[in-house]
């Protein structure tokens, strides 16, 4: 039986910058840095974010034929749960990092607030204030 999500891994070109972003903008806690050691495919950092294990691995993020990760963008994303009272604080922190924002999709009243942004490797993230229960309640007649 699957017990849940073990961890989420992101391949990033600049391991130091990406780790600082997660720590500074999203309040992640860094719990491991491989330094010059290599136990996996590359150097890596482990973070805890809201109880979730996030692994950042240094490497070339896959992209188009020329290696441009920004061209692989779709809507696949990871959404981080944020309390409504802290939403604007986190949006401000992210904006100060100068990362690209995604146009916000239309929202249905009652499904929570969202803010979408990309990191430098083309990963899409979302800050979200809603819960699954709130969304189901809103979508179900």
Domain that holds residue 48: 1-59
On whether both 68 and 108 belong to a single domain, the answer is yes
On whether both 3 and 67 belong to a single domain, the answer is no
On whether both 89 and 130 belong to a single domain, the answer is yes
Question: What positions carry a catalytic annotation?
Answer: 44
Residue with tokens 């070339």: 60
- CA distance linking residue 137 with residue 141, whole number of Å: 8
On whether both 70 and 49 belong to a single domain, the answer is no
**Domain count along the chain:** 2
Q: What is the pTM of this model?
A: 0.76
On whether both 141 and 74 belong to a single domain, the answer is yes
CATH number for the domain spanning 17: value is: 3.10.180.10
Q: What is the pLDDT of residues 81-127, one digit of tens each?
A: 999 999 999 999 999 999 999 887 777 777 788 899 999 988 999 89
Q: Please, what's the b/e burial string for 100-117 (b: 16 or more CB within 10 A of its CB; e: otherwise)?
A: eebeeeeeeeebbebbbb
- pLDDT higher at 93 or 130: 93
pLDDT at 69: 56
- pLDDT higher at 64 or 92: 92
Q: Which of 49, 46, 126 is nearest to 94 (CA)?
A: 126
pLDDT at 71: 59
Boundary-marking domain end, from 17, 40, 59: 59
Q: Counting beta carbons within 10 angstroms of the beta carbon of residue 64, is it exposed (0 to 12), middle (13 to 18) or buried (19 or more)? A: exposed
pLDDT at 59: 85
Q: Which region among 57-71, 73-87, 103-117 has the lowest average model confidence (pLDDT)? A: 57-71
């Amino acid at each position: 039986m699957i017990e849940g999500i073990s961890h989420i891994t992101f391949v990033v070109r600049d391991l130091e910058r990406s780790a600082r972003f997660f720590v500074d903008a999203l309040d992640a806690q860094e719990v491991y840095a491989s330094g010059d050691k290599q136990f996996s495919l590359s150097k890596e950092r482990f973070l805890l974010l809201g109880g979730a294990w996030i692994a950042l691995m240094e490497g070339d993020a896959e992209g188009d034929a020329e290696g441009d990760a920004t061209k692989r963008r779709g809507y696949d994303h990871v959404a981080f749960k944020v309390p409504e009272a802290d939403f604007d604080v986190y949006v401000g922190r992210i904006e100060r990092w100068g990362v690209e924002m995604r146009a916000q999709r239309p929202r249905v009243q009652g499904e929570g607030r969202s803010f979408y942004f990309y990191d430098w490797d083309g990963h899409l993230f979302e800050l979200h204030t809603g819960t699954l229960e709130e969304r189901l309640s809103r979508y179900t007649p």
